[in-house]
Amino acid sequence: QEEDAEVSDAVSNQALNTSTEAYRLARETLESQERMSHEVADLGRRLDDLIDFVKRTKDLAEDAKTEANTVYDEALGIYTDANSLVVPTADVEAMENEASRIKSEARRIRGQADSLANEHKDTLSKLDDQTKDADGLLNEAVRQQQVAIQFDVFYHC
C-alpha cells in the first residue's frame, strides 16, 4: 500500500503540476487576448486617423488642383492676349516729314497773324479804346436807368 500511496502521491503531484501549468497557460492566453484586443482597438483608431488624414489630404489636393487650374487658365488667357497684340507698323519717316510740314505751316500762319496784328495795330488800339468808352457809356446808362426807376417809384407812391 505504501507503494500505491507513493504512486498516488506522484500522480497527484504530476496532476497538480499539470493543472498549475494549464492554469498559467490559460491565464497567459487570456492576457494575450486582452493585449491583442487593445492592440486591435488601437490599430482601429490609427486606421480611422489615417483614413481621416487621407481624406483631408485628398481634399487639400483637390483644392490645390482647382486653384492651379484657375491660375493656369488665367495665365493662358494673359498669354493669349499678349500674343494677339500686334504692334502697328508705322512709316516713321513719313510721319516726321508730315510733322515738319505742319510746323512750317504753323510758322507761316503765325507770321501772317503777327503781320496782320502789326498792320492793324492802330485800328486795334482805337477799337480797344472805343470798347472801353462803350463799356463806360453802358455802365452810365444802367446807372441812369436805375435812378429813373427809383425816381418813378418815388413819384408814384
The pLDDT tens digits of the residues spanning 16-49 come to 999 999 999 999 999 999 999 999 999 999 999 9
Quote the CA–CA distance of 59 and 29 in Å, as a whole number: 44
Tens of pLDDT, residues 53-111 = 999 999 999 999 999 999 999 999 998 888 887 777 888 999 999 999 999 999 999 99
d(CA 119, CA 113): 10
User: Which residue's entry shows cell 486606421?
Assistant: 47
pTM of the complete model? 0.39
Taking only the tens place, the pLDDT of each residue in 115-148 is 988 888 888 889 889 999 999 999 999 999 998 8
**Cell digits of residue 118:** 502789326
| pLDDT over 70 (residue 157) | no
Q: Rounded distance, CA 56 to CA 60, Å?
A: 6
